[in-house]
Structure 1
Amino acid sequence: MHADDSRASLLADVGLLLFLTVISLTVVLAGITHQLWLNACYMGITLVVMLVTYFFGIVPGLLGNLLFVLGQTALMVAVNWHHAGQLPLTLSFWLVIPGLLSGTLAMMMSQQQQLQANNDLLRTQLAERGAFDLQTNLRTTVAYVADARVFIENHRRFQLPVTMVVFRIRYYHELQQLISEQQLQTLLTMTSNTLTTATRDNDVTYYLDNQLPTWGTILYADAETAAVAIARIKRTFATQLLAEAELKSLDTALVSGVASWNPETMANPYDLMNEGVREMEFDVGQSGEK
């Protein structure tokens, strides 16, 4: 985590703790005064002031607090002038509490907004660099090439098996003509979610092509182990397809191709990926998308 993000996260937590502390203090002080209806009225006004702070910012919130303080002061002076001793001075805590609640709420909100802005900026930068697909929330071919080089180097140094598994949706072009844009988007999202949830935690799924949707996973495994993972993924896809009301009537499935890294016939990550795409031709019920 970036240093600025760490600081913002810490300040947001501090703001939350202070906010909860002031609320607890308010409950205790309200119980001591034994002024049920007036405390309830003041609490309602305080909630309104906090909503103003939440939706419009700290400056309107502080102005609301100032009006609230002036109103309380005028009420206390008027009541005690005409009815001596009717309003105890212990109620004066309401002069401070609303400001503290608004301040701690604003502190917490500002840091959370900063974290959200930093996250949005990071996502935009990743997308601009081509390493992250905003539609599927998956890494792209750019990221795959960088990651695959690490896998290939580990294969060379430690003799670890490296296998690439590539997936497409059977009859995708035909489905594209038959179903609505919303159904198509649901299908792509469901496929991406299936591939990310049905793989192991240390396996990364990539979105390799958005023209003819193609997904890929690179893993430390041989072809036989990869075949087990493929069977699991296809079963999960079929189950998820039936669970989607918009998609359960579709006649489709995933087609897959498997390619293991071979330094004698492959020179770079693209060779491994392209071999996986070619292997899809031999999957049962091929897609015809070649």
Structure 2
Amino acid sequence: MKRFQNSFLSDVAFLSFIVVCIVMTIFVSSDPNAYVVNVILLNAAFLIAIITYFSTMMTGLILNLLFIFGYGSFTIYQAVTLGELVGTSNYFWLVMTPIVTILAWLLTQTNRKLQEENDHLQRQSLTLVMLDEKTRLKNTLSYQQDITTFMALSERYKIPLTLLVINVKYWDEIKRIMTAEKFSSALLEVSDISQSLVRTNDSLYLLNNENPTWGIVLFTDIEGASIVIKRFKDKINELNEYEFKEKYAVELQLRIGTAQYDPQNPVSPLELISVAKRTMEYDV
């Protein structure tokens, strides 16, 4: 929303600046007798606008005050000494010059904000390319990079390596009775629970955030993984009795599959996920 507002203001400022420039050009060409003076004043207005664009609004205001003072003094001098009447052209430049300055400042401010937002989004994209935006958990791309290293460590140091794949039973049905806000809340809550139950040397990933699927890489064998699975299910059952029923009006039940990496029969990272998902069929 904020980005849209900045973009809208930038467009309005740009179009307004073009319209004002056209109006000033028409005004200059409409009076041949004062053509030279009007051209000088037009250049002065543009010069102040350009300086404001590359500096600050305060600089533009100071220059406008100097312009108004100088041009006002010149107008009074002409009226007193030469007897010239104060006409529309005098008031025109006193009004239009500050307007051009304000539009130039507004244009540069909105452009700077858009540039800052663009820089922020670029930095954020570099960070989030390996992370899920909502949960800040590592995603599938990060999993594929990490698990390759873990597989190499498992082969070299003979350390057992097991992948747990976790999702929520009947998620499609549960999601239909949830609002988008509750959906995000449930996703975050299960992610937090998963994070709290793993060791610091284990890695947690969000493999799919549409049909929430988590992956946990454990440096243990199937027997050790079964202990982690029991902890998960006990924690979820405990929360189902009180917290989840009140928040989501449903019980969240986990379905967990396991796959231990076998150095003798190496598989790809995605194939390891597939093996773990197939074992979910036996988790009823």
TM-score range, shorter chain: 0.5 to 0.7
Residue 179 of structure 2 corresponds to: 180
Residue 263 of structure 1 corresponds to: 263
Residue 249 of structure 1 corresponds to: 249
In terms of mean alpha carbon deviation, does 253-262 or 266-275 score higher?
266-275
Residue 236 of structure 1 corresponds to: 235
Residue 206 of structure 1 corresponds to: 205
* Secondary structure, counterpart of 1:132 in structure 2: coil
Q: Deviations over 1:196-244 (max 9, x none)?
A: 0111122121000123210000011000000101111122223334324
**CA 1:131–1:137 in structure 2 vs 1: closer, same or farther (change >3 Å)?**
same
Cα offset, 1:119, TM superposition: 9.3
TM-score (norm 1): 0.53
Alignment of 1:1-290 (within 5 A): 122-127=123-128, 130-241=129-240, 242-244=242-244, 246-247=246-247, 249-284=249-284
Question: 2:127 corresponds to which letter in structure 1?
Answer: L
* Secondary structure, counterpart of 1:139 in structure 2: coil
Distance across 2 between alignment mates of 1:224 and 1:260 = 10
Any conservation in 2 of the 1:166–1:256 contact (CA below 8 Å)?
yes
Unpaired segments of 5 or more residues in structure 1? 1-59, 61-117, 285-290
Distance across 1 between alignment mates of 2:233 and 2:136 = 21
Cα offset, 1:263, TM superposition: 3.3
**CA 1:147–1:175 in structure 2 vs 1: closer, same or farther (change >3 Å)?**
same
Any conservation in 1 of the 2:154–2:263 contact (CA below 8 Å)?
no
Distance across 1 between alignment mates of 2:270 and 2:122 = 30
Cα offset, 1:248, TM superposition: 5.8
Q: Deviations over 1:165-213 (max 9, x none)?
A: 0100111001011222222221111111110011112212100012321
Larger gyration radius, structure 1 or structure 2: 2
Distance across 2 between alignment mates of 1:134 and 1:215 = 15
**CA 1:214–1:123 in structure 2 vs 1: closer, same or farther (change >3 Å)?**
same
Cα offset, 1:126, TM superposition: 2.1
Cα offset, 1:155, TM superposition: 1.2
Distance across 2 between alignment mates of 1:276 and 1:122 = 34
**CA 1:209–1:248 in structure 2 vs 1: closer, same or farther (change >3 Å)?**
closer
Any conservation in 2 of the 1:123–1:132 contact (CA below 8 Å)?
no
Distance across 1 between alignment mates of 2:219 and 2:276 = 15
* Secondary structure, counterpart of 2:200 in structure 1: coil
Question: 1:161 corresponds to which letter in structure 2?
Answer: P
Any conservation in 1 of the 2:166–2:255 contact (CA below 8 Å)?
yes
Cα offset, 1:122, TM superposition: 5.0
Distance across 2 between alignment mates of 1:258 and 1:269 = 13
Number of paired residues? 168
**CA 1:283–1:244 in structure 2 vs 1: closer, same or farther (change >3 Å)?**
closer
Unpaired segments of 5 or more residues in structure 2? 1-57, 59-118
Any conservation in 1 of the 2:244–2:251 contact (CA below 8 Å)?
no
**CA 1:119–1:205 in structure 2 vs 1: closer, same or farther (change >3 Å)?**
farther
**CA 1:243–1:252 in structure 2 vs 1: closer, same or farther (change >3 Å)?**
closer
Any conservation in 2 of the 1:199–1:233 contact (CA below 8 Å)?
no
Distance across 1 between alignment mates of 2:212 and 2:235 = 18
Distance across 2 between alignment mates of 1:172 and 1:136 = 18
Any conservation in 1 of the 2:244–2:250 contact (CA below 8 Å)?
no
